[in-house]
Chains A and B, each alone.
Chain A
Amino acid sequence: MTGRWRAAGLAAAIVAGVGSIAMLAAGANPIDGFAQLFGGALGDVDELAETLVQTTALLFPALGVAIAFRAGLFNIGAEGQLVMGGLAAGSIGAVLTLPGYVSIPLLLMAGALAGGGWGAFAGFLRARFAANEVITTLMLNVVATLFASYLVGGPLKSPAATASETAILPHASWLPELVRDTRLTLALPIALLVALGLRYLLDRTVFGYELRAVGEAPKAARRAGIAPGRIAIAALGLSGAIAGMGGATIVLGILHRFNVALSPGYGFIAIAVALVGNCDPIAIVAAAFAFGILQNGALAMQAGAGVPRDIVAVVEGLVIFVLAGRQYLTRTVAQ
């Protein structure tokens, strides 16, 4: 146990060390940089709210990635599923004039369906043609972005907009704010509900049982009459649906329209979040909060300490390495 804690400490030290070196390279004082980072992420209510906005944006795709992981599948396509979900919510939402309690659930479902379909397609390619989902989901990311960019650049482009984006959604379809004058909306409790639901699904239902069986012992699962193809389609479909709903919440809660640039790579960072959370839905909530701090604090760091915010991607990549290699660290520290 102490070995594990020491390894965790060592992991944190590695990440902080490399982060500091990167800051020094940018000519910034690391202590100042980290102070800006945490101050900017947690300093007051508005900043905390923005950190939670980032947490929410990461939480949806991370939960999606995790459910696929539990089925033994790598969904590297959360980014594309997010875009498809946002696109569906944005393009339908722009023309939908209904009261919020009807339109919001409807648009969230539309986002889930679009993202889910995108994910299920990769599942179908795997089930039907044995096409590796790692590569198909990667390809589908690019295709999704190009497809969305075509639609909002042409057929769906708002005549009023200068950028490639849809028209602004009617006010009724905006997600209600939780904290006044921040971007923190109902999206956060929805994401938390999804996490709870996933936990229940995995631990208590027959579907979750079969999904975990395929993930942990594919041959035994097949002997037990579980069709791996069916699970692949269902797991990637569900995975995409959760990511897609996340895309819809960004449209309904933050942008209030669809724009191709709605995600600065949330779908990729989500992989790190899912790993840090050990693919357990509840632990992922905590992991998403930690990454939310990084995401939001980086902006403050850039403004305050002059460190380019791309440092966050470096740190996140490093976190993946260090965390995925933690068994090695634990062993090495123990010796």
Chain B
Amino acid sequence: MHALVGENGAGKSTLANVAFGGLHPDAGTIERTGTIGLVHQHFELAERLRVWENVLLGREPCRFWTIDREQAHARVRELATRHGLEVDPDAAVETLPVAVRQRVELLRELERDPTVLLLDEPTATLAPAETEALFTTLTQLAERGIAILIITHKLADVVRFTQRVTVMRAGRIVARMETAQTTLDEIAHAMVGGDLPQVAARTATTPAPYLSFQDLEVRSGEIVGIAGVEGNGQTALFDAIAQIVPDAGIIPQDRQREALVLGWSIADNVALGRQRTRYRRGIVFDRKTARSDAISIIERFDVRPRSVDAPIGTLSGGNQQKIVVGRALEGRPRFVLAYQPTRGIDIGAAAIVQSRLIEARNAGCAILLISFDLDEIFVLADRIAVMYSGRLGPLFPRDSIDRARIGALMTGAT
């Protein structure tokens, strides 16, 4: 089992795409023996089709033109049993939880008997126990002679489960290591190309109740983290709270669709959300104020390029996210609602985003953070609750609970 690690934008996915055959290399050659199976980060499944239809798509057993449904079922069952990936062949994919969908995608690739299996960030949305189960399966596959390549930025998984590591930075391979002979810190160092950026320190605050929603209480001067596996009602929670607190600073989950108008300039994007209050003069849109606010965000967050007129779609993910977070914090809101604020951005940008959030908390802002990433929860949150199956568990102060317990709660333990 081989891990390909590197920051967002280091070129891992590009390399994978070239290897998989979707992209053509500009230079150099790819040597391949056998076939490659690719498990996507965001699964490529037809959600309203059944499991067996997805697994066998393009290879469905036919009698004349009609599909032999019984044979199809049998094939999927056999495949599932052989690899220990239990799944109901007749279930519609849209009814399945994330971890099971991943099994479906995995089965689809295994059906083709790959010699190499490539998994792109397979644990990004899994609970710790599900991660464990996935790696057990992958280890078995590796023992059967399938080469496994995992693209990830979760170094703890790399150290625990893989045999070899390749590190990429800025489009180049910068290190090749045997996992047994290296450490997490050494890998991280190679990945960033120096020391890890520091996140701002938290200062003592005097929390006072700001918002309470059912059993959830968020106080000013603290960050409450909601941990949980994707698809357990976090989006509904986010929407409900966004509705209750209309003047909150909002950092939505899907940066490109929910937060930004990609064809617009940075300045016009900065105004989005307060176009009727701060950026309105009569019926006219006050672009001047938007531009000056954009300039100050660009300064505070070190956004590149430093031009308020640049179309925001041309910025890197990290720089786009800086604008989203900067906009949410602009005007010192009393409450900020953040959903996966550092998803898919590089470590430098993530450190800036996390630092600004902590600074806002230090200054007395109440922050509710929803994240699937336990690391992020433990970096940012003062108190933590777990969301499972649409329900929110009790709040624990960060120091009174460990990751293993949180991980167990994420998969429904009581």
Interface residues of A (CB under 8 A from B): 204-210, 212-213, 216-217, 219-221, 223-226
Segment 227-279 of B: residues with Cβ below 8 Å from A:
242, 246, 250, 252, 254, 257-264, 268, 271-273, 275-276, 279
Q: A205-B285, A209-B268 are in contact. List 14 more A-B contacts (CB 8 A).
A: A205-B283, A207-B283, A212-B261, A213-B261, A216-B263, A217-B262, A219-B258, A220-B258, A220-B272, A221-B272, A223-B242, A223-B252, A223-B259, A224-B275
Question: CB within 8 A of B275: which of A210, A216, A217, A219?
Answer: A210
Contacts of B264 in A (CB 8 A): 216
Q: Are A206 and B261 in contact (CB under 8 A)?
A: no
CA A204 to CA B285, docked complex, whole Å: 6
Are B259 and A204 in contact (CB-based, < 8 A)? no
With contact pairs A206-B280, A208-B285, A223-B242 given, residues A213 and B272 touching in the complex (Cβ less than 8 Å): yes
Residues of the B chain whose Cβ atoms lie less than 8 Å from the Cβ of A206: 275-276, 279-280, 283-285
Q: Are B276 and A220 in contact (CB under 8 A)?
A: no
Contact between B260 and A217, CB atoms less than 8 A apart = yes
Nearest CB in chain B to that of A205: its residue: B283
**10 pairs from A and B in contact (CB 8 Å cutoff):** A204-B285, A205-B285, A213-B275, A219-B258, A221-B272, A223-B258, A223-B259, A224-B275, A225-B246, A225-B276
Question: Nearest Cβ distance between residue A238 and chain B, in whole angstroms?
Answer: 14
Query: In whole Å, how far is A273's beta carbon from the nearest beta carbon of chain B?
Result: 23
- Contact size range, B: 20 to 34
Contact partners of B263 in chain A: CB under 8 A: 216
Q: Which residues of B contact A (CB under 8 A)?
A: 242, 246, 250, 252, 254, 257-264, 268, 271-273, 275-276, 279-280, 283-285
Name A216's closest neighbour in chain B (CB-CB). B261
Would you give the shortest CB distance from A72 to chain B, in whole angstroms? 12
Residue of B nearest to A203 (CB): B285
Chain A residue nearest in CB terms to B246: A225
B261 partner residues in chain A, CB cutoff 8 A: 212-213, 216-217, 220-221
- Whether B275 lies near A220 (C-beta < 8 A) is no
A224 x B273 contact (CB < 8 A): yes
Chain B residues near A223 (CB, 8 Å)? 242, 250, 252, 258-259, 273
Q: Measured between alpha carbons, how far is A66 from B281 in the docked complex, in Å?
A: 26
> With A209-B275, A224-B273, A225-B246 known to touch, is A219 a contact of B254 (CB < 8 Å)?
yes
State in angstroms the CA–CA spacing of A220 and B259 once bound together.
5
> Across the interface, do B272 and A205 meet the contact criterion of CB distance under 8 Å?
no
Residues of A contacting B273 in the complex (Cβ-Cβ under 8 angstroms): 223-225
Question: In the docked arrangement, what's the CA distance between A23 and B177, Å?
Answer: 73
Q: How far is the CB of A109 from chain B (nearest CB, A)?
A: 20
Cα–Cα, bound, A207→B275 (Å) = 9
Alpha-carbon gap, A157 to B271, bound state (A) = 54
Nearest Cβ on chain A to B302's Cβ, whole angstroms: 24
Interchain CA distance A208-B263 in the complex, whole Å: 15
Q: Which residues of A contact B254 (CB under 8 A)?
A: 219
Most buried by A among B259, B272, B273, B280: B272
Closest 6 CB pairs of A and B: A224-B273, A217-B261, A224-B272, A219-B258, A209-B285, A219-B257
Chain B residues with Cβ below 8 Å from A204 are 284-285
A205 CA / B262 CA spacing, docked (Å): 20
Say how far B194's CB is from chain A's closest CB, in angstroms: 35
Contacts of B284 in A (CB 8 A): 204-206
CB distance from A118 to the nearest CB of B (A): 25
Q: Which residues of A are found within 8 Å of B280, using beta-carbon distances?
A: 206
- How far does the alpha carbon of A169 sit from the alpha carbon of B242 in the complex, in Å? 56
Nearest CB of chain B from residue A131's CB, rounded to whole Å: 22
Q: A212 to B250, alpha carbons, bound, how many Å?
A: 21
Q: Which residues of A contact B246 (CB under 8 A)?
A: 225
A207 and B284 CA atoms in complex are apart in Å by: 8
Closest to B279 in A: A206
| Bound Cα distance A139, B273 (Å) | 36
- With A206-B275, A206-B280, A209-B275 in contact, is A220–B260 under 8 Å at CB? yes
Question: What B residues does A217 contact at CB under 8 A?
Answer: 257, 260-262
